Structure 1
């Protein structure tokens, strides 16, 4: 009788849990995914640009999904809304949330294509930059800091800012200097003050064309551009400093890694090649509740889904262990073509 009752109670409880988190990982159409692991609530928070069709909120901003297992997700809600009096009027790309001095800081890219800035090449330039907002809770609400002004100067077209704190405790923002302005996209870093405003001029780390796997994109004006996207810094178990970043390769978008030869943000940086190919990229790393090192990225580039991989910290580089197919049921090769498909078709 007791065993039957226990089974009945479990059966009755299951639909409640499913109703609380009705969305599967395969349902989440997300660009530039970023996961925060909140130990206190045993919750994974997945941040992305707001999708009004999903949240029901038409404002430009950032939304967050919540999950206890990376497979079942609660419906997202808006955690940051861009104020109407902001210089920016669109965007919300590449949101990241970092803990700094006891609070949560949101980094996200916004732009205004009507706010022209001087152009140095063949393409019109306009304001685009990472803005910072702060909250006392990981799920917000977030409020702009520095009066809504970006860390970088208005004359630079930048995106995908991420926070890196070096071993001396010095914060940096690493970002992509947009190919629209430079032609050959750059990775740059700017030192920050404790309030996360700029503490000095930006430093060039590397250019997209430094990677022999990166493929230039022919532009309407006749020139060829190289893209830099999605930087994230990672210190390995041996102290090696790595950077995840993305660009275009032979088979679409690529998730790659680079390594600092000096172990510092200044580099020099050497390119280690792709981690995941086949139109996959803009990833970030986190540790799951069971201690596994995980990578989340988006694939494909258009109508992207969140994809998870179990990773290995190999000391001098990162290695893919496997795609976590138990989360979305899809198996996908990390390198080369699928079995039985010729190179010309992939």
Structure 2
């Protein structure tokens, strides 16, 4: 018999992490013909999850939503017309549930788990079969729970523009040691690219080198790190792909590092905002593509998972894993930047 109720967290209001509310017993909706009931074994957090209860998220969200876009688990039951999955399959969640292939549109951009649609920080969840993918066979549940947002964002940044997709010998610059940056490092190295990473910590620099970074720049010691990065590239021509996570506070340095016809993928703004920032004219002067993106499609997710299996790539998971009951503490731990790589919550 399939379970009838689930424990879950919801976001009630925008008063910070106190907006996270635990519910002991919530009825599980009846499965529709195309629905899949998933027992969620693990979830992972992203910066986006932290700013939603603080009222700082710029995309679609609703009050009372179950948080979390990233999750992995097992199929417990399927609707009568489901043909993509069977009971017992191991699955991971798609960030934008309606984004199957191609570009986002005004409808699919509003289907983000943990924002507009109930997410993964619950014991059981009902999802349309189109909003799930099979887990990579080489990963456990904790590892697979990190893929939905950060990994797919990194993959889209490197491969989403087909005419400028990552090639062996390209140079990739990553910023910091968050989930997207580390996934980009791993994907780039697997593809035969050179990676330049930035960080502010000597300890983190050593870890980045162990993960394969060819060069690491301490941006506190080298505030003009954009020119430094460019000097490390062949012929000092510049970086091919930059994974821009800092946003307005770091984009000026990224523009100094990029090569002609290179791509800067803006995927976040963890550095906050500033009035003194580059303009569109700077993109022209540097003759580059500056691209904003929001995660990726299911087709890209499936392509990425094949690469993860073939190259036996394993996500970097922080050594501290939180229990389901410690969700608030997990949010605070990540907000305090105590994590390295992806921060996970064990649910089942």
Instruction: Report which of the two has the higher share of helix.
Output: 2
Instruction: Report which of the two has the higher share of strand.
Output: 1
